[in-house]
Amino acid sequence: MLAQAARDAVDDIADSRGRSTRHLLLGLGLTAGAVLASALIARANSPIPENPKIKPDDDRLERPGFSPPKVAFGMIWPPLFLALTLSGLRVWNAPSSPARTQALTLWGVVQALNAVWMALGPRRLGGQLTAAVVSLGTSAAYAWRARQVDAPAAGMVTPYVGWIGFANVLTGELWRRNHANPTLH
């Protein structure tokens, strides 16, 4: 009885009714794995004390007044990554269609762009800005396409698109304020 209640809860969240456990686990592995890879790349390139080569570069940046405190990023990214995972999983579980394939492709590109953006770190603001702009467009395209496949999946990714929009403004301002002092090494 408890196992059935758990499966029903998973089916509701992942929209996986009628899908095999194997299909569900494969989708969860793919989506969680891609998001986890982006998160690990982000951590490896974040200006935290554990990254002594990156932190000094980040500390030297002139920041705009609207920059959130650094601790905010650690609180914002985990729920956004979770929403991205669940959104991708719901699209994965949707019936096969060209729209589903396109949405999954866009979702994968969003993950790749996250990894690129994060890997560039504070040393390469111009590259980060480029990745950020492309990421915003791709994320918006994913949300639009996901809505045609599974409206809740699109709703789950909407906060991410909003955050990426803000991150674009922030990254653009960081680049503008600091490009005269090159950060490329």
- Tell me what pLDDT residue 1 has: 78
Around Cβ 75, how many Cβ atoms within 10 Å?
10
**Residue extents of the structural domains in the chain:** 2-178
Q: Using an 8 Å Cβ cutoff, are 22 and 16 in contact?
A: no
Q: Looking at the chain, list the stretches that DSSP marks H as alpha helix, in order from N- to C-terminal side.
A: 2-14, 21-44, 55-59, 70-93, 98-120, 125-149, 151-178
Provide the CATH topology of domain 2-178: Ferritin (1.20.1260)
Q: What is the pLDDT of residue 16?
A: 63
* CA atoms of 54 and 121, how far apart (whole Å): 8
Residue matched to tokens 């770190």: 121
Residue 157: the pLDDT is: 94
Distance CA 161, CA 143 (A): 8
Distance, CA of 115 to CA of 81 (rounded, Å): 12
Tens place of pLDDT per residue across the chain (185 aa): 777 776 667 666 666 677 777 877 888 888 888 878 877 887 777 777 777 777 777 777 788 888 888 778 778 888 988 898 889 999 999 999 999 999 999 999 998 998 888 788 767 778 888 888 999 999 999 999 999 999 999 999 999 999 999 988 988 888 888 876 554 54
